[in-house]
Amino acid sequence: MRHRLFSTVMGAALAASILSSPAFAETRLRALFMAQAAYSEADVRAMTEAFTKANPGIDVDLEFVPYEGLHDKTVLAQGSGGGYDVVLFDVIWPAEYAANDILVDVTDKLTPEMKDGVLPGAWTTVEYEGKSYGMPWILDTKYLFYNKEILEKAGIGAPPKTWEELAEQARAIKDKGLLETPIVWSWSQAEAAVCDYTTILSAYGGAFLDESGKPAFQTGGGVEALDYMAATMKDGITNPNSKEYLEEDVRKVFENGDAAFALNWTYMYNLANDPKTSKVAGKVGVVPAPGHAGTSEVSAVNGSMGLGVTTTSEHKDEAWQYVTFMTSQKVQDQYARLSLPIWKSSYEDPAVTKGQEELVAAAKQSLAAMYPRPTTPRYQELSTALQLAIQSAILGMTSPEDALTEAADNSGL
């Protein structure tokens, strides 16, 4: 009897230990995403639900923060020794993240299908010094959006092809009394303003750094770009609230019919064309950001983002499994309305292009012309200095040249 009881107790204990064993426990991942632009929160949740359904042993807790909080959340969580398994990161951060051992080097995990199938420009999103620190996920640049109806009323037959022409068309619209301030930008003291500046700098043939890695934006095309930005504000063709706006503010102003022109990311095209929420649905045009006569035909900033696995993750294999699912062609093609795929062949798929042919046509030019912001572990310092310079110049507090010279001195480079 005692032997039988002992056997029963031991059997129950063994069963309990097996059931509580890590081998049978559900793997729980924490993933950090952005709560603005590109894929919507609903999209990310739907993608993740499809992943967990296909991988019943893995669960994923999602956290969404504004872009402005994404970098610091990642770094602070890393420093605390816990935090996230998968993080979304901007193209400007791999240098810093590599230098501080924040992301896993996944170079050896990339398959030939990944290397050959993804657009070459997309890989720059996750690379630093010949190594890859994740998979590109959001392939993005800023486009020039325009209100077709307003241009037609102003007697303008085609959207501008140069930045100078944009200013001329905006003045014509203003002079005809159609809009008081025809252009809206995201020039808040944030990375958004640096992206707009980079776009224009690329048109004017400017450079951020010289061959020795020292600042060069305070000369040539860098100064011309900020001159242009400040001039549109001074001339009254730029919405003065642009100095406080981020991308979502720009979208709302444009969708309300209060702007003829706006510079913004891919996601705005289909949202601005949604009659449920937009007053300008059906009137939205999109083209590559303009060029500069004699220098460039179009301009574009590399605003792409990647998904990576953190070095502190205790579930690196499962985290990489999640990353490869989220960045797969099947998933990206299914959710191609707010962010275009990273995969080459997607752009020939009618299921992807239907209803957004105009956007895809612009993308084929713009994605090939994406200009990078500087690749440096000290990018955050440089960006902060540039943000201050842009604000100072557009508010008329100092000249663009003096503002950029001071930024160069305070860039940490």
Residue 155 buriedness (CB in 10 A; 0-12 / 13-18 / 19+): exposed
Q: Which residue has the higher pLDDT, 285 or 18?
A: 285
What pLDDT sits at residue 36?
Answer: 73
Q: What proportion of the chain, given as a percentage, has pLDDT over 70? A: 93
- Do 50 and 168 share a domain, yes or no? no
- Residues 344, 368: Cα–Cα separation, whole Å: 12
Does residue 14 register a pLDDT over 60? no
- Give the confidence band of 121 by pLDDT, cuts at 50, 70, 90: confident
Residue 369 lies in a domain: no
DSSP H or E stretch at residue 89: strand 86-90
- Residues 161, 288: Cα–Cα separation, whole Å: 8
What pLDDT sits at residue 145?
Answer: 98
Question: Tens of pLDDT along 137-158?
Answer: 999 999 999 999 999 999 999 9
Greatest mean pLDDT range, 18-27, 107-116, 371-380:
107-116
Range of the domain at 157: 143-301+378-409
- Give the confidence band of 2 by pLDDT, cuts at 50, 70, 90: very low
- Location of structure tokens 């179009």: 298
Q: What does the angle CA 139 – CA 193 – CA 254 come to, to the nearest 5 degrees?
A: 75
Does residue 20 register a pLDDT over 80? no
Q: What is the mean pLDDT of residues 358-362?
A: 95
Residue 313 lies in a domain: yes
- Do 202 and 351 share a domain, yes or no? no
- Do 153 and 191 share a domain, yes or no? yes
What pLDDT sits at residue 8?
Answer: 43
- Do 231 and 334 share a domain, yes or no? no
- Do 275 and 393 share a domain, yes or no? yes
Q: How far is CA 266 from the centre of its chain?
A: 9
- Give the confidence band of 71 by pLDDT, cuts at 50, 70, 90: very high
Does residue 22 register a pLDDT over 50? no
What pLDDT sits at residue 82?
Answer: 66
- Do 263 and 120 share a domain, yes or no? no
Residues in a beta bridge with 103: 310
367 contacts 300 by C-beta, under 8 angstroms: yes
Residue 1 lies in a domain: no
Question: Tens of pLDDT along 89-115?
Answer: 999 999 999 999 999 999 999 999 999
- Give the confidence band of 164 by pLDDT, cuts at 50, 70, 90: very high
186 contacts 367 by C-beta, under 8 angstroms: no
Residue 18 lies in a domain: no
What pLDDT sits at residue 212?
Answer: 92
Residue 341 lies in a domain: yes
Does residue 81 register a pLDDT over 90? no
- Do 49 and 103 share a domain, yes or no? yes
What pLDDT sits at residue 387?
Answer: 98
Burial track 387-396 (b if 16+ CB lie within 10 A, e otherwise): bebbbbbbee
- Do 64 and 81 share a domain, yes or no? yes
What single DSSP character describes residue 215?
Answer: B
Residue 193 lies in a domain: yes
Sheet holding 86-90, edge to edge: 58-65, 27-34, 86-90, 305-309, 135-138
What pLDDT sits at residue 80?
Answer: 67
CATH code at 215? Answer: 3.40.190.10
Q: Dihedral of CA 403/229/365/123: which sign?
A: positive
Does residue 1 register a pLDDT over 50? no
Lowest mean pLDDT, pick from 12-26, 43-57, 164-178 = 12-26
Does residue 4 register a pLDDT over 60? no
Residue 9 lies in a domain: no
- Residues 74, 95: Cα–Cα separation, whole Å: 14
242 contacts 193 by C-beta, under 8 angstroms: no
What pLDDT sits at residue 412?
Answer: 84
Kindly give, in sequence order, each residue whose CB lies less than 8 Å from that of residue 231, ignoring residues fewer than 6 positions away.
167
372 contacts 302 by C-beta, under 8 angstroms: yes
Distances (CA, A) of 344 to 123, 206, 332, 349: 12, 29, 12, 10
- Do 128 and 197 share a domain, yes or no? no
What single DSSP character describes residue 286?
Answer: E
- Do 264 and 403 share a domain, yes or no? yes
Does residue 19 register a pLDDT over 50? no
70 contacts 88 by C-beta, under 8 angstroms: yes
Lowest mean pLDDT, pick from 8-17, 116-125, 197-206 = 8-17
- Location of structure tokens 């503002």: 403
Structure tokens at 118: 């993804």
Question: Tens of pLDDT along 226-254?
Answer: 999 999 999 999 999 999 999 999 999 99
Residue 270 lies in a domain: yes
- Do 288 and 214 share a domain, yes or no? yes
Q: What is the mean pLDDT of residues 65-78?
A: 92
- Give the confidence band of 306 by pLDDT, cuts at 50, 70, 90: very high
Burial track 281-303 (b if 16+ CB lie within 10 A, e otherwise): eebbbbbbbbbbeeebebbbbbb
- Do 204 and 121 share a domain, yes or no? no
| Number of folded domains that form the chain | 2
